[in-house]
Structure 1
Amino acid sequence: MELYSKWVRRNKDYVHSMESLANGLTWLLPERFSETEIGPEAVTAFLGIITSINEHIIESDPLQRRMGAMEESSSSSFPWSLGISVLKDLETLVEVMAQHFYGDDKKWNFLAVTEGTKFLVRLALFRDSGYKMVLNGGEIANVDNRPEASNSDPRLGNSVRRDRFGRDPRSLEGRALSALSKFGEDARMISEPKWLNRFQNHHDPTMEPPPPVPKKPTLSKIWSEKGVPGVLFLTAEVLHMSRPLIYVLLMRKYGVRSWLPWFLALSVDLTGMSILSHVRHSGHSRYGGSSSLSASEKDEVKRRKMLLAFYLMRDPFFSRYTRKRLDTVERVSEPIPIIGFLTAKIIELVIGAQTRYTYMSGS
């Protein structure tokens, strides 16, 4: 496993290219979106899990960990993000198998279990991260890299950590000198006796102490320091994380033809986004003012707004309105060579993907 991890880190660009190609080809497999889709979805799930593991290996590179923010040192050792990625890779396979063996109605029982598990894992991640905004459904760690330290570079927009000689470890010169310094230290450690190394490390006055580990805020601390805005922020995040589970439970009870799940899920999303928007512009330090959000958190707010487009692809809205628009586009483009063929193929894939809850869940 260690050899595989090293190979992935050395060849991460090649790994990304092959993963993107393989994931793209799975959409062209025979029997895609058919009743016997278990085989193609199993292949897709397997490739997705491999991709998630490779991404976790690359992101957990020791060099990247040393260059990361101090908040990472206080995070839980359990890879919650990897767990969420694996669940998302498996959920479509679970849906297809449940539909094949138990039917369209009972598949919602399995989807409810899947969404409930994801909700609990995200709550654990939310707590272990110090109640920071959940990024990309929890697949991306929320590390605060805003320029608050004295050695930050305002041109880069995030903190730049420097070594004890004042060099930027990410620059070419910094990496080279750091490598030479590390090589010299390793050679000295090998040549000197272990008891002498321990004695020198213990009594070296120039050795920098380890950076302090920041304490994670608790619910009581957020309430005492942030007050109502902090509680509203927590409420908005919990609403965002719980919306998929609420939607599935309503679909399980009322069915795909009912407008109630569609409207209530949309209401939960809009309520959570409205609360978050109010907190951002309320003028309170960490949970107020748009400037208090990091760049990744601002991108997450934009991503959540874009996810609202999935409501156009969910029944009963899709069957009532969107499907008619797609049929019109296909009919108009059909006489045009090449364009008509490509349009028909794209619409076929879109209609097929719409039949899967997990493709349009936005969770």
Structure 2
Amino acid sequence: MARRAWQAYERLLLANASQITALESSLRSITYVLPGRFKDAELAGEAIYAGVHLLGMYHDSVLFKIVYSRRAKQAHALVQQARDELSGDLPKLSLHARYTNFWHSSSRRYGTAAVLLMIIEASQLFVEMVARRKLRERAWDVVVSIELLKALLRFALVQASQRRPVVQPPLPQREIDPALLEHSSASPTYTWHGERSGVTHTSINALVPLPNAACGVARTEEPDIYEYLLSHTLTDQDVAPPAQLVRKLQGTVGRVAEAVYILRPLVYVLALRKWGKRDAKPFVLSLVLELLAASLRRRSFYLPRESAEKMPVPPMSSVSLMLSMLGIENSFLDWLAGSLSRSDPRRALAKPISAVEGDEWAARDRSFWWYLLRGPVWYNYTRPKLESLVRRTEGKRLIGVLASIGGDYLPLVDEYYYYTAA
């Protein structure tokens, strides 16, 4: 009975994928303006947001299974039929999706930990709001429990991925336009079927935009062949084994760096429970731990100096080469150009080897901006600035409305931890 109900829901999702996606986006947008509108509006808004987020996770898993999953052939007939009706020329899978789907499909431990971690992250603010109302001061115990469970799940992800750092989000995200899954007999066919190979290919007509039914005017732009071919070009990262898109933690230093990064939120929450949000000690402790984790992560990729000295000599700098080609022999200019271009050869190994690594490191570096909303920096600098902005823009048409919505969040940032948790 339950299986039939899920299949009926998946049938509804496949038939109305774009409308359901638009509804998800609308509900999320509504939750942003609910705080301050009525009593417990923030609780109602966060309940809606958490529910939509969890439902969106399920929708993403269904859509990914239809389009990309290797196990689609074992899926039930509804999913297999939708995959067969989809164009044979699938959009190129992103590197993040390739990496996370590889571990999700090859390790049950990774898949379980990733799903649980995303469920907790989607509902943690709602749980904290309920705990603040029911448990008062003991709500910090709930927050500590959540952070402890998240830390354990992240350590499980590290072990399941053979000692690789945690990548956020740990599961593939929606990367295909859901409208492609809505099938209609009135829709024109943009594929052709090879008689001998039996393979379905995308027709060149698929590159031409569809007629604008709303205006009744057909668009006749020429298909952009160059953009189409460029989007289907494979790079060395596209053909690399998924597991090699993220390097293993390098030695003891790398493992310590990841452990410090994973444990930092738990240590911060424990410090907040002991000293309070206005005290500088939790703020400084958290910032020092995060800086330490970033520094150790970069240093873990450095070769020992004796090994670096055996590396090939770097080529002549472009400035020195240009001076040589022009016949200009000036020892000072050559020394200056060499000094500006010379760098420690070990630093080249500290650069990300793929977009997956690069995006994760960039996201971790951006998380330092959250410290503007924490501790004494928030109460003594950021909050007064925002309050002043709200007062100055009060009564103005558009910017005043936006500023007032932002002003409704100021007391929420004061009260709830997860509004500023990275």
Q: Give secondary structure in 2 for the equivalent of 1:341.
A: helix
What SS does structure 2 have at the residue aligned with 1:24?
Answer: helix
Match of 2:165 among 126, 133, 149: 133
Amino acid of the residue matched to residue 258 of structure 1?
Answer: D
Asked whether the 8 Å contact 1:279–1:289 carries over to 2, the reply is no
1:4 Cα shift?
3.3
Say yes or no: does 1:263 pair with 2:284: yes
Shift of 1:323: 1.0
**RMSD of the alignment, in Å?**
3.7
* 2:346 maps to 1:314: no
Give the SS at the match of 2:108.
coil
Question: Given the alignment of the two structures, is residue 298 of structure 1 paired with residue 331 of structure 2, yes or no?
Answer: no
Secondary structure of the 1:130 match is coil
Distance 1:84 1:32 in 2: 31
Give the counterpart of 2:124 among 66, 71, 91.
91
Matched-pair contact (CA < 8 Å) for 2:264–2:286: yes
- In the alignment, which of 133, 142, 154 is matched to residue 122 of structure 1? 154
CA distance, structure 2, for counterparts of residue 177 and residue 293 of structure 1? 42
CA distance change for structure 1 residues 338 and 178 in 2, over 3 Å: closer, same or farther? farther
1:147-185 CA-partner distances (Å, limit 9, x unpaired): xxxxxxxxxxxxxxxxxxxxxxxxx98997999459xxx
Aligned with 1:352 (options 412, 417, 421): 412
User: Aligned in 2, Cα 1:342/1:36: closer, same or farther, shift over 3 Å?
Assistant: closer
Answer whether contact 1:280 1:289 (CA < 8 A) is retained: yes
Q: Which amino acid in the other structure matches residue 415 of structure 2?
A: T
Q: Does the 8 Å contact 1:81/1:141 carry over to 2?
A: no
- Counterpart position of 1:326: 386
- TM (norm. structure 2) is 0.59
Deviation at 1:129, TM superposition (A): 1.5
Partner of 2:60: 55
1:56–1:82 contact (8 Å) kept in structure 2: no
- Of stretches 173-182 and 288-297 in structure 1, the one that deviates more from structure 2 is 173-182
Once residues 233 and 341 of structure 1 are traced to their aligned partners in structure 2, the CA distance between those partners, rounded to angstroms, is 47
Q: CA deviation at 1:280?
A: 4.0
CA contact (8 A) 1:38 1:93 kept: yes
Partner of 1:230 in structure 2?
251
* 1:242-276 CA-partner distances (Å, limit 9, x unpaired): 11111111111222222111111111111111111
The Cα of 1:101 is off from its aligned counterpart by 1.2
3-state SS in 1 of match to 2:409: helix
Q: Which residue of 1 aligns with 2:234?
A: none
Correspondent of 1:289 among 321, 335, 349: 349
Within a 5 Å distance, the mapping from 1:27-176 to structure 2 comes to 27-29=32-34, 37-61=42-66, 63-65=68-70, 68=98, 71-72=102-103, 73-76=105-108, 78-103=111-136, 105-136=137-168, 138-140=169-171
Q: SS at 1:140's partner residue? A: coil
SS in 1 for 2:121: helix
Q: Distance in 2 between matches of 1:288 and 1:177?
A: 51
Cα pair 2:35 2:409 within 8 Å, conserved: no
**Distance in 1 between the 2:284 and 2:196 partners?**
57
* Greater Cα shift, 45-54 or 10-19: 10-19
User: What is the rounded CA distance, in whole Å, between the counterparts of 2:299 and 2:262 in structure 1?
Assistant: 18
Kept in 1: contact 2:278–2:379 (CA 8 A):
no
Q: How many residues align?
A: 289
Q: Do the aligned partners of 1:279 and 1:288 also contact (CA within 8 Å) in 2?
A: no
Shift of 1:90: 1.7
**How far 1:39 moved relative to its partner?**
3.3
Name 2:310's counterpart in structure 1.
Answer: none
- Give the distance between the partners of 1:242 and 1:141, measured in 2 at CA: 24
Q: Distance in 2 between matches of 1:82 and 1:178?
A: 43
Question: Does 1:22 find its partner at 2:22?
Answer: no
Per the alignment, residue 147 of structure 1 pairs with none
C-alpha distance 134-74 of structure 1, shift in aligned 2 (>3 A): same
Indicate the SS of the match to 2:375: coil
Q: How does 1:173-188 map onto structure 2 within 5 Å?
A: 180=198
Provide structure 2 residue ranges, at least 5 long, that are not aligned to the other structure.
1-5, 72-92, 174-189, 201-240, 308-346
